[in-house]
Amino acid sequence: MPEVASVGPTEEEARKENNNIKVSKFPFIANGKALGMGEIEGMVKIIADVDTLELLGVHILGVHASDLIAEVTLDLSMEVTAFEIVNTIHAHPTLAEYHRRSGRRDNRQTYSSSPGIICYLLKKT
């Protein structure tokens, strides 16, 4: 059974407070470490404010979710923005690199090592 970890508001709660949010999802199947471990079930959802780029919430379902949430709780308590996370190094391959490993282009979800989930949030589309 996969682990579940969450910090901050859900997408629905965030939209009630502020409709100007970005939401991005990253499946574990797109993570090299998860693939190597044979643990491809799960995903990470990141919610951020479009105007300030501040992270509002992160929800993780999958292997080591309880470990992965620790970095995010620090990000939220320090009111870290997407710009600051982009400048944080995450080793490869690790589960924690989900911070920088997904983007969205042409209205469909794509995954690559760059520009990253946070860079997607930086796009004000």
Residues with a known catalytic role: 92
Give CB contacts under 8 A, 24+ apart, made by 116-121: 116/86, 117/24, 117/26, 117/44, 117/46, 118/46, 118/82, 118/85, 118/86, 119/82, 119/86, 120/22, 120/24, 121/22, 121/24, 121/46, 121/48, 121/53, 121/82
